[in-house]
Structure 1
Amino acid sequence: MRLVPIQYVKAGSFLAKTIYDDKGSILLREGVKLTDGYIKRITQLGMFSMYINDEYSEKEVEDIIKPELRQKAIKTIKETFYSLEKFNLNVGKNSFKDKILMAERERYFEDINDIVKEIMEELLSKKTVLINIVDIKSIDNYTYQHSVNVAVLSLVLGIQLQLGKKQLNDLCLGALIHDIGKALIPHDILYKKEKLTEEEKNTLQDHPIRGYDFLKGSLDISAPARIVTLQHHERQDGKGYPEGRKEDEVNILAQVVAVADVYDALTSDRPHRKALSPNDAVEYIMANGDKQFNYEIVKAFSKCIVPYPEGTIVRLSNGEIAVIEEVYPNFSLRPKVKIINKLNKEIVRDLRYELEIVIEGPEYEIV
């Protein structure tokens, strides 16, 4: 199984991971033989990649949380955002309707807290937790899928940092709703494909304050989680927003979410730019330790990230094409690989010991 950009997928391949539409319903089920029509339809829905099975990559790529839980979390976040948009548009117009919308909002926040408990139970039950995000984002659902990814990434980082259970709960909750203020930003700014004007950029950068202010009255959202929504765009050097805080002035949970937020954003395809390779995204984050990010958190991140899961096909610096065979904790960029060659010779390299060879990036066209 391997993740392939849509432009490289060929008819006759077999789908390796079920694809869901923006409502969480099954669009194409795992195992279906892909046709040109299927591929065209998936492209039209704004999906940039899919998992396929072929002769080069046989290993299963498992999501860090169950697919059912991921879809449930995405649906809950999406409904919460919609509820917040309705509340924002109608507040003050009708006191009776205000009460109904307020009750609806609180119900969704209760649902989010339940999702947090489920994600925590799943991750804390694992002996070894490495970051390996395998969901396929669509344009329409990007914000909600991103929120769930950031929550999972943040929680894995929090476990690596040995945070207490209460802190992990606040971290996961804050990460799930870190972008909730975007539900209060006009759609024509939020989804604009062209470059934003300076005024529009300033409006977008208001989303942490808008989200934080809106959450103040909710008893279901803890104070540390609310702080995450306010401070997740602050930087170590004080050049972030909305308040220009730096170093220890930024809540530690918000510092964790900042790393997870940027990693998931960089590795996601967007209409205006292609995703960075996981390797390039990791290098960006490591290069910005102590400037944009907390250096200790970056070190923890480097130990638990899996840029190339088992089964990924990669290009090596010596020109060889290989399949990732085994990933080692704390050495995720130095896995064991099996070389693909026309003679079908069994050549295995353990990059922990062949230090002159590095992974240059994923490979999609094999000749």
Structure 2
Amino acid sequence: MKSEKIKGDGFTHLYFPLANLGKNASIFADREKGILAEKYKPVMMSIIGKQLALNTYYANDLIATANTRITMALLKTFDQLKINFKVNLEDITDAERNTAMDLAMGEIIRTKREFLESIKRQDIPGIQTSVNRFISESISRHRLDAFSDHYDRIKAYLDMANSVITSQENYVATAAAIKRVIDSEQRIFNLPSDHIGETVEHVVKTTQLSLLLAGELEAFSEADCRTLSIIALGHDGGKALVPESIIYKKGRLTQLENDIMKSHVLLSFVLASNNQENLDIESFSMALHHVKENKDLPQSYGIARGTHTSFYDYLTPDAQARLNELYHGTKKYYRVIGIADTFEAITADRVYKRASSIGKALEIMVAGNKKHKLFYQPYLDVFIRFILNRYLPKNMAFKLSDDIMDAHFKDITGADRQGFQSSHQGVVVATGHTLDTKVSCIIYRTATMTVERKLFLPPALLLQDIFFQ
């Protein structure tokens, strides 16, 4: 493994491809004690205290944000997980970052103004009709078969929200933004004219998941679900005004790019509020779905005060006053959408990553909540129980994966192992309500239907090869 100097964004980085080391290799002579191997010691010691150049992930789990200082503990984590990372050779100060962000926001606000001015009155009916058709087709195309018994109820809310966003004067700008996203993704990904891209697909799936979760919560009435469906369907409209070079970047974002990406929540509010004129709970809530329970986290941002990245100062005085009045009422909406949005994002293919399994997604969300307080725990508990009951129902049959064999049938090896996997199957007897509660299962020989063993398996293990639609 050799570090590489690379140019990017006007300054020089060092790139450390630790994934090239191999599973059993290490930059440490003794990782537990923090003793570096002699061949890596000079370069690794030289970057202690320097800044990460990019947000750094393992699978879909954020390990450290850009500008985090390199420590020995962080190097241990990178080495253990074999994570590639980039380091700034020169520090980026807070003042430099803030100046760059102010310039970027000035450009985004100019783009917003030009976009709103470009919407011609005579073009609005055509825009609304086109977007309504695309969303309707997406609703049908991305029907969640695993939840077919809920489909009629969910579709009714989706159709209503689609009608509202594509017919009411309040949402003309949101509809135009969705049209721009559809057109952009058709061009960028060379899609057929009747296909939508990943953004609208994400929005439709997130809305369905939000409504499924809300249906399990006593706090949501039918009227609340109607409101929720409008908020969820419009929550990413602001992405239409974020530069395409950032939205569709195939690699990880720099800190500045990540900050600019966050501005889509402000833009979603501006569009849905008709440039801060219609100050209702729907438009405000569209800009809050990234607010975390621990607002101090770098992942927490929105138009509310007190978040790590807040766009509150970009609101007009009237909008600030109205948000202060309505904020408490927005919580149940953005808490539900935040969970649904995260789950869908982790389990979906993107230009910069592969989809994670349902099991991995739940593990990431549960671990993240224990460590950082990302989500509202009562809602997350209900969501996990709902997903487990749906994807691990009683009497569900499953194949014996290599991981199950490694954990519970170590004595069976070679050709005997392959034969055992072919001739045996598992069945779920009872599913728990949490990710920590093991699933009761039986293992039986398929030819004779003879039960040979009872097992208690972690839900995530059974869900590791099951993917969300």
Q: Does the C-alpha gap of structure 1 residues 363 and 92 become closer, same or farther in structure 2, counting only changes over 3 Å? A: closer
- The structure that has the greater radius of gyration is 2
TM-score, scaled to structure 1 = 0.57
1:241 alignment partner in structure 2 = 301
Corresponding residue SS for 1:251: helix
Q: How many angstroms apart in 1 are the aligned matches of 2:248 and 2:269?
A: 21
How big is each residue's C-alpha offset from its partner over 1:122-181, in whole Å with a ceiling of 9 and x where there is no partner?
Answer: 1379xxxxxxxxxxxx97632222111111111111011121001111112211222111
How big is each residue's C-alpha offset from its partner over 1:71-91, in whole Å with a ceiling of 9 and x where there is no partner?
Answer: xxxxxxxxxxxxxxx998664
- Of 268, 277, 286 in structure 2, the residue corresponding to residue 229 of structure 1 is 286
2:214 alignment partner in structure 1 = 158
TM-score, scaled to structure 2 = 0.46
Q: Is the 8 A contact 2:400 2:426 kept in 1?
A: yes
1:299 alignment partner in structure 2 = 381
Say if 2:402 is the partner of 1:346.
no
Measured on the aligned residues, the alpha-carbon RMSD in Å equals 4.5
Say if 2:176 is the partner of 1:146.
no
Cα distance, 1:350 vs. partner? 10
How big is each residue's C-alpha offset from its partner over 1:289-346, in whole Å with a ceiling of 9 and x where there is no partner?
Answer: 47100011111112211474556646334258645667758479766756476x7342
- Of 109, 120, 129 in structure 2, the residue corresponding to residue 98 of structure 1 is 120
Say if 2:461 is the partner of 1:360.
yes
Corresponding residue SS for 1:231: coil
Q: Does the C-alpha gap of structure 1 residues 249 and 304 become closer, same or farther in structure 2, counting only changes over 3 Å? A: same
Query: Residue 242 of structure 1 aligns to which amino acid in structure 2?
Result: G
2:348 alignment partner in structure 1 = 268
1:200 alignment partner in structure 2 = 257
Query: Residue 318 of structure 1 aligns to which amino acid in structure 2?
Result: H
1:182 alignment partner in structure 2 = 239
Q: How many angstroms apart in 1 are the aligned matches of 2:444 and 2:348?
A: 27
1:4 alignment partner in structure 2 = none
How do 1:317-328 residues align onto structure 2 when only pairs under 5 Å count?
A: 317-319=407-409, 322=425
Query: Residue 449 of structure 2 aligns to which amino acid in structure 1?
Result: E
Q: Is the 8 A contact 1:146 1:264 kept in 2?
A: yes
State the number of aligned residues: 261
Q: How many angstroms apart in 2 are the aligned matches of 1:263 and 1:282?
A: 8
Q: Does the C-alpha gap of structure 1 residues 166 and 87 become closer, same or farther in structure 2, counting only changes over 3 Å? A: same
Q: Does the C-alpha gap of structure 1 residues 274 and 204 become closer, same or farther in structure 2, counting only changes over 3 Å? A: same
Identity %: 19
Greater relative contact order (CA < 8 Å, ≥ 6 in sequence): 1
Q: How many angstroms apart in 2 are the aligned matches of 1:312 and 1:98?
A: 56
Unaligned stretches of 5+ residues in structure 2: 1-110, 144-149, 156-185, 192-196, 308-326, 410-419
Q: Does the C-alpha gap of structure 1 residues 117 and 273 become closer, same or farther in structure 2, counting only changes over 3 Å? A: closer
